[in-house]
Amino acid sequence: MSRERYETWIEQVRRVAGRVECTDQTPQSLSALALLVHALVPDVIAEIGVGFGLSLRTWVDATEGMETRILAVDRDFGALDRSLGALPLDSSRVRRILADASAVMFQNEWGETDIALLYVDAHGASIMQHVLRSIVPTLPLCSVIAVDDLWYSPETLTDENLLGFYSTRIERYFRHSRRPPPHKFASYWQGGSYYGFPEVVPLMAWVNARRVELTQPDGTKHVYFWRPE
């Protein structure tokens, strides 16, 4: 799919959102997610935190012709439902679960030989801790975890240089948003730091302790990694 189509998606959803709630997704990120699906060919995609459904639409579009099962988990699908009038979604292969992720038995959603893609777009240290402790260990070995809203700084971030990094790399994502900027960061074992919402702290502690290698496609704000053995 062309980036121009992703740009159209984003513009249509922004009209519904009033341009203040849906400002942080990019055509580059959506394109990279589609490429990840094509490379992985997953049996199941589980998304935690759906919002206005731009990534969900990417899963549906990228898995056309596949038998991939798509699971959408959120405590509120109001934003997604609001977007449907402006940007329809073929939800025939999407199963919604209206619940906190901590209440979902994810281990029932995949088998040992499945390839799973777990996409986390929910914010908070507690949800990330639950994902890492209780969901990731249940994933089949040949599975990938992707986490949204993370920005990499090759320079180790500190309280002193954080503002400069924010103003040059991050501010444009939040200029028209009602959400406050995240202003959380943690160092990465291969150098530099990751900036994001509160979940970046437990995520990087887990990644650093296991020497997990993160991949961040150029021009994107998500990382992904293989489920460690």
Strand, coil or helix: 215: strand
Q: What's the whole-number mean pLDDT along residues 177-188?
A: 78
Predicted pLDDT of residue 179: 59
- Taking CA atoms, 51 is separated from 24, 77, 119, 159, in Å, by 11, 7, 13, 31
Q: How confident is the model at residue 23 (pLDDT cuts 50, 70, 90)?
A: low
Range in 25-29, 154-158, 175-179 the model is least confident about: 175-179
Predicted pLDDT of residue 73: 98
Q: What's the whole-number mean pLDDT along residues 180-191?
A: 88
Q: Cα separation of 205 and 210, whole Å?
A: 9
Predicted pLDDT of residue 180: 61
Residue type, 95: R
Q: Has residue 107 got a pLDDT over 80? A: yes
pTM of the model: 0.94
Instruction: Decide the pairing of beta strands 44-48 and 116-120.
Output: parallel
Q: Are 228 and 141 in contact (CB under 8 A)?
A: no
Q: How high is the mean pLDDT of the chain?
A: 91
Closest CA to 216 of 160, 182, 169, 174: 169
Q: Cα separation of 18 and 148, whole Å?
A: 22
Tell me: domain 3-226, CATH 3.40.50.150, correct?
A: yes
First to last CA, the chain: 33
Domain range summary for the chain, segments of one domain joined by +: 3-226
DSSP-assigned letter for residue 1: -
Predicted pLDDT of residue 177: 61
pLDDT 10s digits, 34-68: 999 999 999 999 999 999 999 999 999 999 999 99
Q: Has residue 157 got a pLDDT over 70? A: yes
Q: Cα separation of 177 and 224, whole Å?
A: 25
Q: How confident is the model at residue 6 (pLDDT cuts 50, 70, 90)?
A: very high
Main-chain phi, psi angles of 164, to 5 degrees:
-65, -40
Q: Are 119 and 47 in contact (CB under 8 A)?
A: yes
Closest CA to 90 of 65, 118, 120, 109: 65
Q: Cα separation of 47 and 59, whole Å?
A: 10
> Which of the two residues, 11 and 70, has the higher pLDDT score?
70
Q: Has residue 114 got a pLDDT over 70? A: yes
